[in-house]
Amino acid sequence: MGRSLLDKLWDEHVVCQPEGEPALLYIDLHLVHEVTSPQAFDGLRAAGRRVRRADLTVATVDHNVPTTPNHRPIDDPIAARQIEALQANCAEFGIPLFDMDSPEQGIVHVIGPELGATLPGKTVVCGDSHTSTHGAFGALGFGIGTSEVEHVLATQCLPQHKPKSMLVRVNGRLAPGVTAKDLALSFIAKIGTGGATGHAVEYAGEAIQVLSMDARMTLCNLTIEAGARAGMVAPDDTTFAYVKGRRFAPQGASWDKAVAQWRALASDPDAHFDQVVELYASSLVPQVTWGTNPAMVVGVDGEVPNPKAAKTEVDRKAIERALEYMGLSAGTPIEEIKIDVAFIGSCTNSRLEDLREAARVAAGHRVASGVRALVVPGSQEIKRAAESEGLDQIFKAAGFEWREPGCSMCLGMNPDIVLPGQRSASTSNRNFEGRQGRGARTHLVSPAMAAAAAVVGHFTDVRRWEYRQASAGGK
């Protein structure tokens, strides 16, 4: 029997398998941010423990940081204290920190790959559920809690049961205007928010092979919303081209050796998977969530569902409750839903390709009156790259705010929140009640769909978009 990508990653990282206990799994890269780490460092101090491998640990600030230009000092004293705690902890334990003034600061799941810290074949953990993002490189990346952050800091290991494996084969290709975001949302709708619980998902098939790394990261990022431990894509030439030359990537002779090893990570043709799911990319349309979890989603050409059509009583109540919270009535065409806010950003959709797609839609148009539209690049590096292409000028000319990197309005831990009752078209990952602000109504969409909604003031099918040249003012 052949081995899957998961089998190969797993076997390589098992330190030992103690009798009657989970395997002890070695962690190659530990990403740390300000929100889920202070209590872990306190735990280390209380027990008199040290950080075992500060050299395998990378920290940044992203969740709390304001994204308005010239945002120092931070107004929120509690947020400031949390960031100061990370600075002090990194200094005390010798951990490299990409701080607010660093040219490489950004969302933790954006900068890991950018720095070349995330590499094929690695185990990657972070105190954040969207650590599944790193699986796009053929790494095993999964989110952990603060106690586990402490565990990894102290031992560089975690006791883990091996996840079950799920192969998601995506046949055909995505149509123009349909993105990895739409693919991910339709996958979550198919298997449900808990459908992949306990599994590591490997995406394969023609549609995946032609995806860019930015798109693969979006797809793996959202895998957690189906309950999965991890989402992965086998590394290939697209992966290697992205990784090559990055700061922490292997160089020279060790590069060639590494690529040879990475190529061997792909699942063997006769590998066993506990579950196999088939998806068809070519029939997919742009997706818009209508409810309060990411599985509550429908095509932009569809309508808000009727609770009476639910299969069970609990499902019916869940739909009713979601519609009440969202202020929607059954049968409303999705394209008639008006928005107040458009947010383009987050670890799901803040990369250069995302910004390019949104800018292409925004070019030569204006944000609808009464709509507030934000573009928050995922990192300083992306911000610089976008600016060198003139994307910032396109956005600003169209009436979008151009911000500094951070998690921002995805979860509104910083001042970027959606007000009660307001409706947002958001490229982020969670439409939970209150996620973007208490009473906020979130609709998850792709970057192009969010930009289009910002311009016309309601959801619209980006496949019919009237693309224009950037007006004067753009570079």
Partner 1 sequence: MQPFRVHTGVALPLDRHNVDTDQIIPKQFLKRIERTGFGQFLFFDWRFRPDGSLNPDFLLNEPAYANASVLVSGRNFGCGSSREHAPWALGDYGFRTVIAPYFADIFASNSAQNGILLVSLPEEKVSDLLARIKSRPGERVTVDLERCEVRDETGFLAKFNPDPFRRRCLLEGLDDIGLTMQHEAEITAYEARRR
CA distance 387 to 468: 19
Which one of 254-262, 348-356, 361-369, 432-440 is the stretch in contact with partner 1 (CB under 8 A)? Answer: 432-440
Nearer to partner 1, 151 or 372 (CB): 151
Site string for partner 1, 146-175 (x = CB under 8 A): xxx-xx--xxxxxx-x--------------
Q: Does 475 bind partner 1 (CB under 8 A)?
A: no
Q: Which two tokens stand for residue 146?
A: 């603060």
What is the nearest approach in angstroms of partner 1 to the Cβ of residue 413?
5
Spatial CB neighbours of 50, under 8 Å, sequence gap ≥ 6: 44, 93, 154
Chosen residue from 198, 245, 327, 473 binding partner 1 by CB under 8 A: 198
Q: Does 2 bind partner 1 (CB under 8 A)?
A: no
Q: Does 416 bind partner 1 (CB under 8 A)?
A: no
Q: Which two tokens stand for residue 465?
A: 């978009």
Which one of 1-9, 108-116, 140-148, 265-273 is the stretch in contact with partner 1 (CB under 8 A)? Answer: 140-148
Nearer to partner 1, 92 or 237 (CB): 92
Q: Does 452 bind partner 1 (CB under 8 A)?
A: no
**Residues in 312-331 at the binding interface with partner 1, rule: CB under 8 A:** 314, 317-318, 321
Q: Does 435 bind partner 1 (CB under 8 A)?
A: yes
Nearer to partner 1, 8 or 229 (CB): 229
CA distance 302 to 292: 17
Closest CA to 429 of 404, 414, 446: 446
Site string for partner 1, 32-51 (x = CB under 8 A): ---xx-xx--x----x-x--
Which one of 103-111, 136-144, 241-249, 276-284 is the stretch in contact with partner 1 (CB under 8 A)? Answer: 136-144
Nearer to partner 1, 49 or 384 (CB): 49
| CB contact at 8 A, 424 and 443 | yes
What is the nearest approach in angstroms of partner 1 to the Cβ of residue 55?
11
User: What radius of gyration, in Å, describes the C-alpha atoms of the chain?
Assistant: 22
Spatial CB neighbours of 374, under 8 Å, sequence gap ≥ 6: 67, 341, 342, 343, 344, 345, 400, 401, 403, 408, 409, 416
Q: Does 305 bind partner 1 (CB under 8 A)?
A: no
The length of the chain is 475
What is the nearest approach in angstroms of partner 1 to the Cβ of residue 230?
10
CA 116 from centre of chain:
17
What is the nearest approach in angstroms of partner 1 to the Cβ of residue 76?
7
Which one of 73-81, 92-100, 390-398, 443-451 is the stretch in contact with partner 1 (CB under 8 A)? Answer: 73-81
Nearer to partner 1, 2 or 22 (CB): 22
**Residues in 6-25 at the binding interface with partner 1, rule: CB under 8 A:** 15-16, 18, 20-22, 24
| Long-range CB pairs of 98-101, under 8 A, 24+ apart, other chains included | 98/58, 98/59, 98/60, 98/61, 99/60, 99/61, 100/61, 100/65, 100/72
| CB contact at 8 A, 61 and 95 | no
Q: Does 303 bind partner 1 (CB under 8 A)?
A: no
CA distance 470 to 8: 48
Chosen residue from 7, 54, 71, 85 binding partner 1 by CB under 8 A: 85
**Residues in 350-409 at the binding interface with partner 1, rule: CB under 8 A:** none
| CB contact at 8 A, 406 and 63 | yes
Q: What letter represents residue 12's amino acid?
A: E
Q: Does 82 bind partner 1 (CB under 8 A)?
A: yes
Encode burial over 54-79: b for 16+ CB neighbours within 10 A, e otherwise: bebbbbbbbbbbbbeeebeebeeeeb
Nearer to partner 1, 127 or 345 (CB): 127
Residue with tokens 């619980």: 197
Chosen residue from 127, 177, 231, 235 binding partner 1 by CB under 8 A: 127
What is the nearest approach in angstroms of partner 1 to the Cβ of residue 98?
20
CA dihedral 295, 296, 297, 298 (to 10 degrees): 130
Q: Does 231 bind partner 1 (CB under 8 A)?
A: no
Q: Does 143 bind partner 1 (CB under 8 A)?
A: yes
Q: Does 62 bind partner 1 (CB under 8 A)?
A: no
Nearer to partner 1, 372 or 435 (CB): 435
| CB contact at 8 A, 379 and 355 | no
Nearer to partner 1, 42 or 268 (CB): 42
CA distance 76 to 34: 14
- Interface ranges with partner 1 (CB under 8 A): 15-16, 18, 20-22, 24, 26, 35-36, 38-39, 42, 47, 49, 63-64, 76, 78-79, 81-82, 85, 127-129, 131, 142-148, 150-151, 154-159, 161, 193-194, 197-198, 227, 229, 293, 314, 317-318, 321, 411-413, 420, 430, 432-435, 438-439
